Amino acid sequence: MSFQILGTGSAHPACTQTNDDLSVFLDTSDEWISTRTGIKSRFVCTTETLADLAAEAGRRAMENAGVRAEELDLIVCATVRGDYITPALACVVQKMLGATCPAFDINGACSGFVYALDVADGYFARGRVRKVLVIAAEEMSKLLDWEDRSTCVLFGDGAGAAVLGEGEGLRSIRITTDGNTDALRIPHVRGNSPFDRTEAEESFLFMDGQEVYKFAVNAMCTDVRAVLEDAGLTEADVDYVLPHQANLRIIETAKKKLNIPPERFCVNISRYGNTSGAGVAILMDELNRKGTFQPGDILVLSAFGGGLTTGACVIEWTAL
């Protein structure tokens, strides 16, 4: 027994920052950003906490699924950093939703949503759960150096969620890791230990863009082919590809290497930017609420990020 998706939800901050807004204090322009990334704007937290976004996304997913908080058997949150080191973001969300089930976080970086689906799959396989809420939530605006135009223009804040129930919607799933701190990292906050002799780095995101680009294109193509083969499907069977919304150039390059019609690749990066692990979940919710998916549609999710991690899966959509 695996799972099927019963409902989806998403949430974003109220504040939108366009490329023109950023050019007021950065040496950049709308043309420079949009031609290199496909991003036109992004949402950034001002008064909202990450828990606010995560709980709202979860609440909307539960409403979409017709599932009450007391029915949840598990909450898994994927995030690179919650509002606290402890308690976990999932614990805060559990309280906000009025649930009583176990709750914990995982950190798969931009692959976090697929990693969380893989974790949930294990609970279904063991018969431990009947309803699981998976949330991917990121507040990247607080992890960036806003004087570095090469990175700060890429990211945004947001949360996406899915309620999972027993079923056979998951056809295959694959997660990988290639340990690497050189290509992408965010150093942790420092305490004030008088005994600490390690070299301190500022707690901002660092990314080698070219290295990540090459890794991402290769990982996306490799993973998509692998999960389709494992599911007994071909590229021609795919109805929709939901790729990580990191950079439009990555998606466009992968399109050319895969034998999937280009119109089947879904994007919303122009409005959201890179919301890290939340991106695929937000995209899924947007498409679900537009009525894009039909029962029996084959969806391929593909993500890649810090770790370096990758995650991909094949989901057969069921009637909600």
Evaluate the omega torsion of the peptide bond into residue 308 and state whether it is cis, within 30 degrees of 0: yes
| DSSP result, 263-312 | GGB---HHHH-B-GGGHHHHHHHHHHHTT---TT-EEEEEEEETEEEEEE
Contacts of 176 (CB under 8 A, 6+ apart): 219, 223, 309, 310, 311
- Which of 77, 110, 266, 313 is flagged as catalytic? 110
Question: In this structure, are residues 140 and 205 in contact, taking their beta carbons and an 8 Å threshold?
Answer: yes
Q: CA–CA separation, 206 vs 244, rounded Å?
A: 19
Question: In this structure, are residues 233 and 298 in contact, taking their beta carbons and an 8 Å threshold?
Answer: yes
**Given strand 307-316, what is the order of strands in its sheet?**
170-180, 307-316, 298-305, 240-243
Evaluate the omega torsion of the peptide bond into residue 87 and state whether it is cis, within 30 degrees of 0: yes
Active site residue 110: yes
Tokens of 135: 């949330």
Active site residue 244: yes
Backbone torsions φ then ψ of 50, nearest 5 degrees: -65, -35
**Given strand 103-106, what is the order of strands in its sheet?**
2-11, 157-167, 131-139, 74-78, 103-106
Question: In this structure, are residues 23 and 30 in contact, taking their beta carbons and an 8 Å threshold?
Answer: yes
Q: Give burial (CB, 10 Å; 0-12/13-18/19+) of 160.
A: buried
The β-bridge partners of 303 are 311
- Which of 64, 244, 247, 313 is flagged as catalytic? 244
- Which of 19, 64, 247, 274 is flagged as catalytic? 274
Q: What are the catalytic residues? A: 110, 244, 274
